Chains A and B, each alone.
Chain A
Amino acid sequence: MIPKDSLLGNRITIVSILFLLALTSEGQYNGKKSLEGFLDTQFWLGLKVGVNYTQAFPETRNSGFSPIDYSSDSLQKNYDDFALPGAHVGLEMNFYHKGFSISFQPAYKRSRYQYNSMLNWRGANSGNRFETRYDVEQRLDLIELPLMLKYDIIRSGKIRPFVMVGGFHSRIASAQKDVEVTQIDYSSGTPLTSGGGNTTLGVKDSFRAFSGISGGVGVNLDYWNIRTVFEVNYKRSLSSATRQNVSQNELASFGEMSDEVFLRDINISLGFVFPFRFINSSLKAF
């Protein structure tokens, strides 16, 4: 049985290739244009790579534990914001016209974030105390489909800064969770730390596709016969990345349950794009 996401990925790839072929043929059909026209209206295609840092914003708190004699607030997870680097690689397709660009940037992206939580137990003797700490790293592999509108602040020269806004839709390709349990026993008077086990589990079913908005700044560097694009953008999901009320036996059975999480991330990217329209023997790109 072929996973649905694989079919989706194939569908996107096929549509993208057909789309590019169509545009290529149109560019050859138009023939010679003036240099001004060439620069005023252009299609750029290239690759983009980068790193990203993710913040998981918990909208609704969940726990596999339901406390009897203490507040559920103490079960809340503590998130480390923008702490773990992720990476992304993808295409950059820009349609430029007189300062404005429509940019489609499909990418395969790995996002990472981490959190921890703590449980405490006490006996009648105040020194009789025990703690368990859960350290969790969440990894998400995403197929990200951003559609951006760019505006070049400077439209001439080799250094062209720009701003951009837009939206994105992300689908879950895979998701893994690393859980490390640490136990601390205070009963002897001296804290005794021991490992309570660690495990890595696939948790794709706990996540779902999400969409959001994005904005950023960047600069186009037109040196040699290539355009180098350096950009920084911020993405903010407007829908939850997690499914509610889904409990995975392996995790739930020791109390681990995802919050309802909205993802926000900072992406730093370097792209290399080529002009794709009007290329023939009589007219160089630069």
Chain B
Amino acid sequence: MKKSSATSSFTSIYRAALALCILVMGTACSNDEPALTEAFLKIYDDSDLDVSYRPIDVVETVDGYIILTGTELSKSDFMGISLMKIDEKGEYVFEVALSDYVVPIGDLYLNSADSNSYFFAMNPTSFQAVLIGVNPALEIEVDVPIGGIDYPLSAAPLSNGNLLLQSYDPLSQETEISEISLDGSFVSGNSYSIGPGDDVLDEITNHYLNTSERPLPFFCGEVTAGSYYFNGFYNYIFSLVFTDFSNAPSGVIQGLRPSKAGIRSVLSQGSGNFAVSGFQFDENYQLASITLPTSGNSSSADLYTGDMAELKPYTPVNIINHSAGSTFTVFASETKGNQILLNFYDQNGAIAGMHRIGFLNPYSFSSIKTGSDNSLLVLGTTFVAGRFERIALNKIPESEVLSFVN
């Protein structure tokens, strides 16, 4: 009887222990946690409180990232040039200052064929444009002055592997648009009069010297092979100009003179459709899908659909397409509250989501790219402690992007 009681007790304890183990193990092994992601938001800090950066663009290389940035120079009113090497986890590795040149011009273009990253700059004494190519270790591989082209303003890669360069000729008072090969040779191009008077020259000079205050949205790009556009001064007005390098533009969308209204950024979507960001005095608007008049003269005022009140006047804007589940058009800009704002539009042009970067520290926007893992790379600056402007790079993984959109 006693033995039976002890056996029963052991059985009870055994059952209880087994049940408890199952209970604990059951809860311990249930895996409802999402997989780790490779997100980062890094602020590249310098202990010198007088240092200030103005990042231009970022590219992803085989072993991390390269940031092209402008720096303040004590010996020149022009912006200096620095390249930062960033590792795959977003940590700063080293920096190379290019003291021979000034005025870094994006896009920073990664040529996959030679793994070099290309951008334009300016000789500070001759004002001549120069093409610079660096390898992933930031060693200079290409350093070529572009004959006959001064005052570079904007650049973009072309589908044929060459680069499109917008520049300004102060002698003939013309905006130049040129196709440049990666060895720095001129391929093709033309120039167009900016109109008489010195007002435009003053605006361009201020654009170079006062980069933080209402920079003019110079940009250029390709609609299709052989069909290009540039945003710049034409016929005295800041305009979006379409050209096939003929002597006369094929189409002009004029702003208000000289630069009170116009286009801030465009992205060709094919079949004559564009994503467009425009400005009308201090107001901003975004059109995710619209057919632009690429021939004849028209006015950007006809595109104005109403103010996006959240956007900062004269905000820089970049537009890219990004696939996260489906394809979205992403407009990156700055808000009046000093955040970076990403607006996602679906393929019908309807707003699908948004995301803001910045909370206690103010943020400014510079560039947005798509990473090799379909992440979003957002480059900008933040004012640490509300006063020290530092470069910030935010990598947003695709899984997080999906949470921004409907």
CB atoms of B41 and A253 under 8 A apart: yes
CB contact between A253 and one of B9, B86, B361 (< 8 Å): that residue: B361
Chain B residues whose C-beta falls within 8 Å of the C-beta of A208 in the assembled complex: 33
**Shortest Cβ distance from B312 into chain A, in angstroms?**
17
CB contact between A122 and one of B10, B36, B48, B392 (< 8 Å): that residue: B48
CB atoms of A147 and B20 under 8 A apart: yes
CB atoms of A145 and B24 under 8 A apart: yes
If A97-B13, A208-B33, A253-B363 touch, does A247 touch B41 (CB 8 Å cutoff)?
yes
Chain B residues whose C-beta falls within 8 Å of the C-beta of A245 in the assembled complex: 36-40, 89
CB atoms of A124 and B9 under 8 A apart: no
Q: Is B8 an interface residue when CB atoms closer than 8 A count as contact?
A: yes
CB atoms of A66 and B91 under 8 A apart: yes
CB contact between B40 and one of A15, A43, A247 (< 8 Å): that residue: A247
A210 to B363, CA, bound (A): 36
Q: Is A65 an interface residue when CB atoms closer than 8 A count as contact?
A: yes
Q: Is B47 an interface residue when CB atoms closer than 8 A count as contact?
A: yes
**Shortest Cβ distance from A176 into chain B, in angstroms?**
15
**Shortest Cβ distance from B396 into chain A, in angstroms?**
9
Chain A residues whose C-beta falls within 8 Å of the C-beta of B44 in the assembled complex: 65-68
Stretch in A33-41, A219-227, A267-275 with 4+ CB within 8 Å of B: A33-41
Q: Is A258 an interface residue when CB atoms closer than 8 A count as contact?
A: no
- Contacting B at CB under 8 A, from A54-71, are 64-70
CB contact between B385 and one of A12, A37, A132, A251 (< 8 Å): that residue: A132
CB atoms of A64 and B384 under 8 A apart: no
Chain B residues whose C-beta falls within 8 Å of the C-beta of A246 in the assembled complex: 36-37, 39
CB atoms of B36 and A102 under 8 A apart: no
**Shortest Cβ distance from B359 into chain A, in angstroms?**
4
Chain B residues whose C-beta falls within 8 Å of the C-beta of A189 in the assembled complex: none
If A66-B90, A69-B46, A147-B21 touch, does A43 touch B360 (CB 8 Å cutoff)?
no
Q: Is A155 an interface residue when CB atoms closer than 8 A count as contact?
A: no
Q: Is B17 an interface residue when CB atoms closer than 8 A count as contact?
A: yes
CB atoms of B92 and A244 under 8 A apart: no
A31 to B120, CA, bound (A): 92
If A65-B43, A196-B386 touch, does A33 touch B5 (CB 8 Å cutoff)?
yes
- Contacting B at CB under 8 A, from A103-143, are 104, 119-124, 128, 130, 132
Q: Is B171 an interface residue when CB atoms closer than 8 A count as contact?
A: no
CB contact between B9 and one of A5, A11, A40 (< 8 Å): that residue: A40
CB atoms of A104 and B20 under 8 A apart: yes
If A183-B385, A196-B386 touch, does A19 touch B47 (CB 8 Å cutoff)?
no
CB atoms of B92 and A66 under 8 A apart: yes
CB atoms of B47 and A66 under 8 A apart: no
Instruction: Sample 17 A-B pairs with CB under 8 A, ordered by A number.
Output: A65-B43, A65-B45, A66-B90, A69-B46, A69-B48, A95-B13, A102-B17, A121-B48, A130-B49, A181-B360, A208-B33, A209-B28, A245-B39, A249-B358, A253-B360, A253-B382, A255-B361
List chain A positions with a Cβ less than 8 A from chain B: 4-5, 8, 11-12, 15-16, 19, 23, 26, 30, 33, 37, 40-41, 43, 64-70, 93, 95, 97, 102, 104, 119-124, 128, 130, 132, 145, 147, 169, 171, 181, 183, 196-197, 199, 208-209, 211, 243-247, 249-255
A-B contacts besides A69-B46, A95-B13, A253-B41, 14 pairs, CB < 8 Å: A40-B9, A64-B41, A65-B43, A122-B48, A169-B27, A245-B40, A247-B41, A251-B359, A253-B357, A253-B358, A254-B361, A255-B43, A255-B45, A255-B384
